Amino acid sequence: MASSAQEPASAAPRPGAGVSRVGTPRGVLTSSAREGLTSPPRSAGVTLVELLIVIAVLGILAGAGISVISGRTSETALEEGLRRLAADLSYAQAVAVASGSPRTVAFDPGNDTYALLQGISPMIHPVTKRSYTVRLDAEFRGSGLCIVACSFAGGDTLRFLDSGVPATGGWVTVQSGAAQGTLSVSSSTGRISWHVQ
C-alpha cells in the first residue's frame, strides 16, 4: 500500500494562514512594527478657520493703523512739497549764477502756484520743455498742498541776483491738511532752508 504523507495535526500552520510568523494574529502589530510606521504627512495648506483668523487680525491691525497712517500722510506730503520747492528755488539760483543774469520766482498763493521767470518771461523746464510753473497740489495729487502765504520784503516775488544772493530774503508757508511748514531764504547768503512746524 502506498502510504500517503499527511501532515500531522500538531504541526505549525503555514505562514499566511491566519497567524503571523511570530505567532501574533494577522492585522495586529507588535510594538516593534508600530515604531517603524509614521503617520501620513499633514497637508501643507491652511484650514479655513486659520485663514479667517489671519484675515480678522489683519483687519484689526489695518483699522488701528489708519489714523496713524493718515496723520503721517499729511506730514509726508508737506515734506515732499517743501523739498520740491527748495529744489526749484535752488535751480533758479544756480541758473542765475551760471547765466550771469537774475532769475525770479513769482508766487501766487491764491492759485497755489509759483513760476520761475527770466525777466518777465517764464523759464523753460529742462525736462518737460514747458513753462516752469508749479502747482504743488497737482504735483503731489491728493495731498492738499497749498501755499498759505509768502513774504519777500512784503511782496510775493523772490529775485536771485547773478551772484546767487537774493535781492531780499523772505519766507513761504506751505500747508497739507493740519501740517504746516515754512521755507526761508536768507537775504545775506541766499541759503534755502525749511522746517515743519
pLDDT at 15: 53
**How far is the C-alpha of 76 from the C-alpha of 36, rounded, in Å?**
62
Q: How far is CA 160 from CA 52, 94, 105, 120, 140, in A?
A: 62, 9, 8, 14, 26
Q: Tell me the per-residue pLDDT of 7-24, one tens digit each, with 9 for 90 and over.
A: 455 555 555 555 445 555
Which residues of the chain fall below pLDDT 50?
1-4, 7, 19-20, 67
Give the residue extent of every domain in the chain: 48-196
Query: Which cell numbers in the block locate residue 33?
Result: 512594527
Q: Tell me the per-residue pLDDT of 52-80, one tens digit each, with 9 for 90 and over.
A: 788 877 777 666 555 455 555 788 889 99
CATH superfamily membership of 48-196: minor pseudopilin epsh domain (3.55.40.10)
pLDDT at 93: 94
| CA-wise closest residue to 96 among 38, 150, 165 | 165
pLDDT at 1: 46
pLDDT at 65: 59
Q: Is the pTM of this model over 0.95?
A: no
